[in-house]
Amino acid sequence: HRVTLPGVSRPRCAPPSIMCTAKGSNDAPGAPVPTPPRRALLGGAASSALLSSLATRADPATAYGLGNAPPPKTGGLFGRKQPRSEAEIRAVREEAKRRREEREAEENPGELVTLPSGIQYRELDEGRADTGKTAQRGDTLYILYTVYRLAPGAYFKYSSGGTPIFLWSRGYGNEGQDDVGATYRFVLGDSDAVPRAVAPALVGMREGGRRRVLVPPQLGWTSDAVRPRPATFGAGRRLENHKEEPLLFEAELLRVRKSDEAPTEEDLAADLEPAGWSGVFKLPAPPSPFRDKLGETS
């Protein structure tokens, strides 16, 4: 039985397996040395055995990570090999350039042509050479067209890339329009018949040819008088939202009627039709008291 005197702190002692004495006790100089616990002795023996086995192992590579071989010395981040010599760096750059050119060629096919005025277009299809007809000023052209906008930031790299995004078209039946084969007819050189950037790019075009013209904002749909105009409300809203951006006008030339060529009966009939009209006018039904009572409308 221990008695603790007031004002005297109890010394901290090790587990019962260790003999300990309080600091400042009156033990004799020849007191027995404290014995370490059995767990500490076993842990130290195991650590010494493990270190000695790793140090004396025949294959030092298998000692990495407790028996796991170290990763291969490839260098670089996450084990990827990095080019070290100048020749390897040049080869990697050339391969990246080739892949970039292939991707840009897929997005923008055809040969890029730059006119002296700076207007650019791509020759997607040269057309038929057997007819001998090419578009010149004063000729009447019959075309199918599609208008695109460019992806953000693609205007300055149009010569080498730029993804086109559809806005509207005529003659291809897009957006549920019943206009497959319906052409847009205009006289090349007429004011506002096409955007100012499109007219010079169509000069010299063969029948059956197809060109994609880059239309800068200042040479595009600068006013409501510039044609062609979208036939649907949604396409009209898209044009209003993007007319201040560079656009692409892709024209497919189906027919060229030369200025000195006599028009056919079909041409004369088409000239009498309203410009841009593609619907069917339906007369309203005569008024009927029975229809008014039933709440029907014409």
Contacts of 206 (CB under 8 A, 6+ apart): 126, 127, 128, 129, 131, 133, 134, 135, 253
pLDDT for the residue 218: 95
- Report whether pLDDT(113) > 70: yes
> Token pair of 142, please?
């019959």
CB atoms under 10 Å from CB of 213, counted, come to 24
pLDDT for the residue 156: 46
User: Is the pLDDT higher at 273 or at 203?
Assistant: 203
Cis? peptide before 228, omega within 30° of 0:
yes
The region, left, alpha or beta by phi > 0 then psi within -120 to 50, assigned to residue 124 is alpha
- Report whether pLDDT(5) > 60: no
- Report whether pLDDT(213) > 60: yes
The region, left, alpha or beta by phi > 0 then psi within -120 to 50, assigned to residue 20 is beta
* DSSP result, 182-210: PPEEEETT-TTSS-TTTHHHHTTPBTT-E
Give Dmax (Cα) for the chain.
Answer: 136
Cα–Cα distance between 142 and 253 in angstroms, integer?
A: 6
For 143-175, write each residue's pLDDT tens digit: 999 999 987 655 444 444 467 889 999 999 998
Predicted TM-score (pTM) of this structure:
0.59
Query: Please, are residues 199 and 136 in contact by the beta-carbon 8 Å criterion?
Result: no
Cα–Cα distance between 241 and 81 in angstroms, integer?
A: 48
Local confidence band at 290 (pLDDT 50, 70, 90 cut-offs): low
For 275-287, write each residue's pLDDT tens digit: 545 445 556 666 6
Cα–Cα distance between 34 and 41 in angstroms, integer?
A: 13
Cα–Cα distance between 90 and 87 in angstroms, integer?
A: 5
> How confident is the prediction for the chain on average, in pLDDT?
77
Angle at 70 between CA 48 and CA 67, to 5 degrees: 40
Query: Which residue, chain included where needed, has tokens 């009572």?
Result: 293
